[in-house]
Structure 1
Amino acid sequence: MEQKLKIVIVEDEPVSNIYLKNLIQETRIQHEIVKELDCVVDALAYFVANPKVDLIFMDIHLGDGTCFDILNTIAIDTPIIFCTTFDTYAIQAFKYNSIDYILKPAKIDNIRAALNKFLSINQSEQQNYLGRIDQMMDSFTPPQFKKRFLIKENNKLKIVDINNVNFFYSKDGQTFIVEKTGCEHPVDYTLERLEDLLDPEDFFRINRKTTININQIFSVEDYFNSRLKIKLQNNKKDLDLVVSRNRVKYFKNWLKGVS
């Protein structure tokens, strides 16, 4: 019987965690998720106290810091597959027993290739793995985010530059883009799809129905039930912009540049 691969997942977004576990399952590689961790503090405690596992899937940004806070504090010689939204840490990540660096949203082919790479690399090859980083990085393609939207209105086409977007919202199954001027237009994207298309450094989905532009925030106020209320510059639409309670922590991290 094939021995199961013992895996630890370090990921603070519940949705991303479930998505990753489903992709690993789809590869049909025999494995066992022995632990799921969502913050630096818990990860440090776990890796100090527990025996070595075979492989770690690790996000870069966590709720209370980055994975490098873990890796620079304790020695972890377990191979790591990094899964993150940002391409800017790729070189740094490969200093830490890295097998692969996958950009979110990961695809089944990405996960399968990374796991097969791990299974095919023996210990001696891992020690020489850093020597192949430059070759890997030459083929590394950073994500491309939308710079503009093409809007059709009354048989005319209008271009809306991403820098002129105040926020996006959905209503009755339709998504709308709201410009700084207050003009709004329907777009053929769901908010879920927009999360993949928009630069996460500039745009954040504060609740199920709204995604805002950080450059348009005028103020952030405490709101009842441990939520936050956002006021945007030039917002002429009568729409409450409230950060959901379960996203407040991630929103604050995003404001600080560590989302």
Structure 2
Amino acid sequence: MQVLIIEDEARAARQLQKLLASCGFSYELVGTIDTVEETVEWFRTNPSPDLVFMDIQLADGLSFEIFQSVTVEAPIIFTTAFDQYAIQAFKVNSVDYLLKPVQKDDLSLALDKFTRSNKPQSLDPQILKQLLGSVQAQESRSGILVKDGDGFVQILITDLLYAYSEESVTFGVTQARRFIVDETIDQLYQSLDPLSFYRINRAQIVAKSAITKIDRYFNHRLKLSVLNPRDQEFIVSRPKTTDFKDWMNR
């Protein structure tokens, strides 16, 4: 039984492997991957595994973006830290899921269901992504509290043009200033409205309202012109180009 784990938290991936062993599940681990881009490349160059564990939020975006670029024929068990609203959405679409942190009993039940059915699930990634986007939009924030001299000031999310990660530090940029965000780029992205912001690559998030021009770029990528670019270059990674264009049309 070949298993692929797609998870951007190394600790969570290791814990899942331990739980699989404790459940008495005999398997061969064919890989652990933490990004959308690497997952797309893996499926393009490797035979399909027997089972995939897939986190919803990966290091460079939502795992649903994977299905825009490749066909995944293996059964999938999603792992998610999202709340009950998202879980209900997954149930409606007949998708197996595990709420993080994964518990042994829940994993055992999911494995039992997989063993009994052992069939690829009917998966409509567009519907699932829209449902997940609705949940994220409900929980999206209105501002970011940042240091300002000896005190703090709130930056409105509506003023945020883009954010990026550089040497493990997250920066946000408005028309007026650049500031440090006391969060990882992953944490910031998860709190933003997915209809208004897009993670174009592992290190950059861009507001739709900040984009002024889109050009074709080599290797089937896209290059963006944005407001107040400072010293940043904005390149949409290859696996995200189709999904990005769909997002721009919403």
TM range (shorter): 0.5 to 0.7
Match of residue 211 from structure 1: 205
Give the whole-Å Cα distance in 2 for the aligned partners of 1:122 and 1:64. 21
- Is the contact made by 2:200 and 2:244 (CA closer than 8 Å) also made in structure 1? no
Task: Pick closer, same or farther for the CA change 1:118–1:66 going to 2, 3 Å.
Answer: farther
Task: Pick closer, same or farther for the CA change 1:197–1:154 going to 2, 3 Å.
Answer: same
Name the SS of the counterpart of 1:185 in structure 2: strand
- Is the contact made by 2:16 and 2:102 (CA closer than 8 Å) also made in structure 1? no
Matches within 5 A, 1:1-259: 6=1, 8-9=3-4, 16=8, 21-27=13-19, 28-29=21-22, 30-31=24-25, 32-33=27-28, 57=53, 61-65=64-68, 81-83=77-79, 90-91=87-88, 93-94=90-91, 98-100=95-97, 102=99, 107=100, 109-110=101-102, 112-118=104-110, 144-171=139-166, 174-179=169-174, 181-224=175-218, 226-232=220-226, 235-243=227-235, 247-257=237-247
- Is the contact made by 2:165 and 2:204 (CA closer than 8 Å) also made in structure 1? yes
Moved more, 235-244 or 150-159: 235-244
Q: Give the letter for the 2:64 counterpart.
A: H
Name the SS of the counterpart of 2:106 in structure 1: helix
- Is the contact made by 1:167 and 1:212 (CA closer than 8 Å) also made in structure 2? yes
Give the unaligned 5+ runs of structure 1. 1-5, 125-141
Name the SS of the counterpart of 2:200 in structure 1: strand
Instruction: Give the count of matched residue pairs.
Output: 208
Give the whole-Å Cα distance in 1 for the aligned partners of 2:170 and 2:9. 26
Structure 1 length-normalised TM: 0.57
Give the whole-Å Cα distance in 1 for the aligned partners of 2:114 and 2:185. 43
Structure 2 length-normalised TM: 0.58
Give the whole-Å Cα distance in 2 for the aligned partners of 1:172 and 1:95. 41
Give the whole-Å Cα distance in 1 for the aligned partners of 2:8 and 2:181. 25
Offset of residue 165 of structure 1: 0.4
- Is the contact made by 1:151 and 1:187 (CA closer than 8 Å) also made in structure 2? yes
State which structure, 1 or 2, has the greater radius of gyration over its C-alpha atoms: 1
Q: Deviations 1:207-252 (Å, cap 9, x if unpaired)?
A: 45432112321211123454422112xx2343232326xx222243
Name the SS of the counterpart of 1:176 in structure 2: strand
Offset of residue 113 of structure 1: 4.8
Give the whole-Å Cα distance in 1 for the aligned partners of 2:114 and 2:223. 52
Give the whole-Å Cα distance in 1 for the aligned partners of 2:194 and 2:112. 34
Task: Pick closer, same or farther for the CA change 1:84–1:118 going to 2, 3 Å.
Answer: closer
Q: Give the letter for the 2:145 counterpart.
A: L
More relative contact order, 1 or 2 (CA 8 Å, 6+ apart)? 2
Q: Give the letter for the 1:151 counterpart.
A: V
Task: Pick closer, same or farther for the CA change 1:57–1:237 going to 2, 3 Å.
Answer: closer
Give the whole-Å Cα distance in 2 for the aligned partners of 1:117 and 1:219. 49
- Is the contact made by 1:99 and 1:117 (CA closer than 8 Å) also made in structure 2? no
- Is the contact made by 1:217 and 1:231 (CA closer than 8 Å) also made in structure 2? yes
Task: Pick closer, same or farther for the CA change 1:255–1:19 going to 2, 3 Å.
Answer: farther
Task: Pick closer, same or farther for the CA change 1:200–1:25 going to 2, 3 Å.
Answer: farther
Task: Pick closer, same or farther for the CA change 1:81–1:231 going to 2, 3 Å.
Answer: same
Give the whole-Å Cα distance in 1 for the aligned partners of 2:114 and 2:104. 18
Name the SS of the counterpart of 1:168 in structure 2: strand
Name the SS of the counterpart of 2:176 in structure 1: coil
Q: Percent identity?
A: 20
